[in-house]
Amino acid sequence: MPVHNEDIAAIFDEIADLLEIEGDNPFRVRAYRNGARTLRGLGRDIGALVEQGEDITRLPGIGRNLADKIHEILATGHCRTLEKLRKRLPADLTGLLHLPGLGPRRVHALYHELDIHNPEQLERAARDGLIRQLPGFGAKTEARILEGLAAHADSHRRFKLAVAARYAETLVDYLRRAPGVKRIDIAGSYRRFRDTVGDLDILAIARKGKPVIEHFTAYDEVENVLSAGATRATVVLRSGLQVDLRVVAAISYGAALHYFTGSRAHNIAIRRMARKRGLKINEYGVFRRDRRVAGKTEEEVYAAVGLPWIAPELRENRGEIEAARAGLLPKLVETGDLRGDLHAHTRASDGHAALHLMADAARQRGFEYLAITDHSRRLTVAHGLDSKRLLEQMETIDAFNADDHGITLLKGIEVDILEDGSLDMPDTILERLDLVVGAVHSRFDLSRAKQTRRILRAMDNPYFTLLAHPGGRLIEHRPPYDLDMTRVIRHARERGCFLELNAHPERLDLLDTHCQLAREEGVLISINSDAHSVLDFDNLRFGVGQGRRGWLERNDVLNTRSLAELRGLLAASRLR
C-alpha cells in the first residue's frame, strides 16, 4: 500500500492528540500539528520527494525529528512513537475525540480528573452530573456531551451478534436454494465474530449471477432494494439490517472472502506486505502486474505474502500477522472442545426448567458435566436460594449423581458479591460445594478503586472459584462497570481462581482483549452459557467465538478438561 501525505499527517495528528491528553510539552504538541499541516498542504507526494533524495527538513515545520519519522512511516507503514503512546493510554480514549465538542484538552481533563477512558464511562459521568463540576465545562457542555453520545450511537446502529445470526442463517439457507449456487459465505464482522454487526456481507459462487440476485431480492424479509445489478445487490431487511450480496467467480472467491471479511486494518497490513513483494491484492485476486497469481482460496492469498492462513476471528491487526510470520498462531478453541458448562440455572431460582431437564439437555450436547449454580438469596428478583434451600438442592444433586444419567452434576451457587466484597452465603455452606461462582449484581456505580477492591476481596474468599461476567456489561443496555481488569486478572493468577467468559448474547463478557490478557497471564477462562433454559446451551458458540477473538486455545479454557482433571483444578483453587 502506498503511503500518502494524508496517512502521515493523520499519524502526526494522533501523536499530537495523545501527547496533549497526556499533558506533554505544548511546543512538542505544536510541532506535530505543524508537521501535519505542512504535509496536507504539500503539492507533491512526500514519498516521491524522499525517493528522489530531497532533504525534507527544508520543508516548513519538518525538522530532523519529524523527518526521521516520515522516513520510518514510508519504509514500514508504522510509527514507533505512536505505538508507544497507544500502549501508555487506554485504547478507547482517542474515540472520545470524535464526539462533538471534545478536543484533546477536554479529553485530558476528563481522563485526569474523572478517570474516564471510554464513551460508556463518559455517559455515566454526564448522567451523574460530574462533568459540569470540572472547570471549563458546565451544565450546557454536559448536556451537549449526552446529545453527542446519543447521536453518535444512532448513526452507528449495530445488531447484537446473536440477533444478526438469526437473520443471517435463515437468509443463507434461502440463498442456497437459488439457481446454480455452489457456495455461500457470510463475511465481514459477522465472520470475525464481533459482538455486534453493522451489516451483512454475503458472497456466493454461481455460474450466472442474475438468477441469484433475483432470488435474493425476492426474499420475503426484504423491506427495500437499494440496488440490484448482474452480480451485486444491496437490500434492507424489515429488521433494519442491511445486506450486501456479491456473486463472485470461483477463481476470485478466496480473495473476495479475505477482502470482505476484514478487518480494514488487517487487510491494509496484508496489502502492504504484498506490495513489498511486487504484488497487488484486491477482491479479484493476487496479481503480479496484470497476471493473477493467486486468489481462488484464502490460503493462496496468505501464502502469496509468505503467511499461513489466519483465522477470521484474529484479523484485527493486533499481533496476528507477526505471530503468523513467526509460526506462533494459536490453535483456537472450538465449540467441540467443551466438556461441560460451569454456570447454569434451574427453576429453583430464575431458570425455566427443572434440574433433571437441564442435565438431560447438557447430556444431549455430549457434555460430561454440568454445574448447577442458582442464585443466592440476595438476588430476590431471581428467587435466590438461602442456606436451607441450597442444602436441599445439594441433596437432590447427590441423589441424581447416585444413578447413571450419562452426566455428572456439580454442586454450585452463583453467589452475590456484596458491596464490601463479602459473599452472600456463609463459608460453612460454601465449603460443601464443588464450586462457587461469584458475581456482581448491584452497585454498578462504584468508583474504579472501590469496585476493584470489592472484587479482589471477594476473590480472596477461600472457597471462591470463578468470577462470573466480570465486566458486568449488557450490550447496548448497560456499560461495563468501572474496573481495573488488569489488576483483577493478575489477582486471579496470584489467587489461583478463574474467570468466566459468559456466552449469553447480551453479555459476551469477558471482552476479547481481556481474554488475551488472561491468556498471557496464565489465568484459565471458563466459557459458560449462563443457561436459564434448555435452549440456552446453544449460545456457547458465541462465547467460543469471543474466546477465539481473544486468542484462546483449548488449554486456556477451564471447561475443556475431563471431569477428573476439572475436579483437581477446582480443589486446587481453594485456599487451605
- pLDDT, tens only, 318-337: 999 999 999 999 999 999 99
Is 378 within 8 Å of 350 (Cβ atoms)?
no
Rounded to 5 degrees, φ, ψ at 344 are -150, 150
> Which CATH number goes with the domain that contains 435?
3.20.20.140
Task: Give 47-99 pLDDT, tens digit per residue.
Answer: 888 988 889 998 878 999 999 999 999 998 889 999 998 888 877 777 787 77
Is 491 within 8 Å of 454 (Cβ atoms)?
no
**Among all chains, which residue has been given the C-alpha cell 450486501?**
244
Average pLDDT, the chain: 92
Instruction: Let me know if 395 is exposed, middle or buried by CB neighbors in 10 A (0-12, 13-18, 19+).
Output: exposed
Q: Report d(CA 89, CA 44) in Å as an integer.
A: 34
Domain that residue 297 falls in = 264-325
Amino acid at 552: L
Same domain, 81 and 105: no
Torsion-angle region of residue 306: left (phi > 0), alpha (psi -120 to 50) or beta?
left
pLDDT at 43: 59
Same domain, 129 and 275: no
Last residue of a domain, one of 134, 152, 170: 152
The count of structural domains within the chain is 5
Same domain, 528 and 489: yes
Give residues with Cβ within 8 angstroms of 181, minimum separation 6: 175, 204, 205, 206, 212
Same domain, 134 and 240: no
pLDDT at 364: 97
pLDDT at 21: 86
Q: Is the pLDDT of residue 380 over 80?
A: no
According to DSSP H, which parts of 101-160 are helical?
A: 104-114, 119-127, 138-154
Q: Of the ranges 32-36, 112-116, 503-507, 527-531, which one carries the lowest mean pLDDT score?
A: 112-116
Taking residues 338-352, report their average pLDDT: 95
> Which CATH number goes with the domain that contains 169?
3.30.460.10
Task: Give 130-180 pLDDT, tens digit per residue.
Answer: 888 888 888 888 888 887 777 665 545 788 898 888 889 989 999 999 999
Same domain, 341 and 434: yes
Same domain, 24 and 163: no
Last residue of a domain, one of 215, 248, 281: 248
Is there a domain that residue 357 lies in? yes
Q: Is the pLDDT of residue 406 over 70?
A: yes
Residues in a beta bridge with 242: 236
Taking residues 475-496, report their average pLDDT: 92
Same domain, 482 and 381: yes
How is residue 168 written as a grid cell? 443471517
Q: Which residue has the higher pLDDT, 316 or 166?
A: 316
Is there a domain that residue 253 lies in? no
Measured from the Cβ of residue 415, the count of other Cβ atoms closer than 10 Å reads: 32
Amino acid at 86: R
- Three-class SS of residue 521? helix
> Which CATH number goes with the domain that contains 282?
3.30.210.10
Same domain, 533 and 415: yes
pLDDT at 100: 66
Is there a domain that residue 257 lies in? no
pLDDT at 150: 74
Amino acid at 407: I
Is there a domain that residue 224 lies in? yes
Q: Which residue has the higher pLDDT, 379 or 259?
A: 259
Q: Report d(CA 473, CA 475) in Å as an integer.
A: 6
CA distances from 547 to 64, 66, 509, 542 (A): 45, 40, 10, 9
CA distances from 532 to 352, 355, 374, 375 (A): 6, 11, 9, 11
CA distances from 18 to 92, 95, 520 (A): 12, 11, 27
Closest CA to 464 of 523, 421, 525, 518: 421
Q: Which long-range contacts (CB under 8 A, 24 or more apart) does 162-166 make?
A: 162/505, 162/539, 162/542, 163/239, 163/505, 164/190, 164/196, 164/197, 164/200, 164/241, 165/190, 165/542
**Among all chains, which residue has been given the C-alpha cell 482517542?**
94
Same domain, 174 and 216: yes
pLDDT at 42: 67
How is residue 429 written as a grid cell? 455452606
Closest CA to 416 of 454, 452, 448: 454
Task: Give 260-298 pLDDT, tens digit per residue.
Answer: 999 999 999 999 999 999 999 999 999 999 899 999 999
How is residue 201 written as a grid cell? 456481507
Measured from the Cβ of residue 222, the count of other Cβ atoms closer than 10 Å reads: 16
Same domain, 101 and 39: no
Q: Is the pLDDT of residue 195 over 50?
A: yes
Is there a domain that residue 313 lies in? yes
Taking residues 541-559, report their average pLDDT: 98
Q: Using 50, 70 and 90 to split pLDDT, how confident is the model at 1?
A: very low
Task: Give 410-454 pLDDT, tens digit per residue.
Answer: 999 999 999 999 999 999 999 999 999 999 999 998 999 999 999
Task: Provide the 8-state DSSP code for 103.
Answer: -
Q: Report d(CA 397, CA 435) in Å as an integer.
A: 14
Amino acid at 179: P
Taking residues 123-135, report their average pLDDT: 86
pLDDT at 153: 57
Is there a domain that residue 407 lies in? yes
Last residue of a domain, one of 325, 343, 378: 325
Is 126 within 8 Å of 96 (Cβ atoms)?
no
Rg (CA), the chain: 27
Strand 159-160 versus strand 196-197 pairing type: antiparallel
Give residues with Cβ within 8 angstroms of 78, minimum separation 6: 72
Is 354 within 8 Å of 553 (Cβ atoms)?
no
Is there a domain that residue 254 lies in? no
> Which CATH number goes with the domain that contains 26?
1.10.150.110
Is there a domain that residue 255 lies in? no
Is 442 within 8 Å of 480 (Cβ atoms)?
no
Q: What is the 3-state secondary structure (H, E, C) of 223-248?
A: EEEEEECCCEEEEEECCCCEEEEEEE
Same domain, 380 and 521: yes
Q: Using 50, 70 and 90 to split pLDDT, how confident is the model at 304?
A: very high
Amino acid at 108: H
Same domain, 447 and 341: yes
Give residues with Cβ within 8 angstroms of 173, minimum separation 6: none
pLDDT at 576: 66
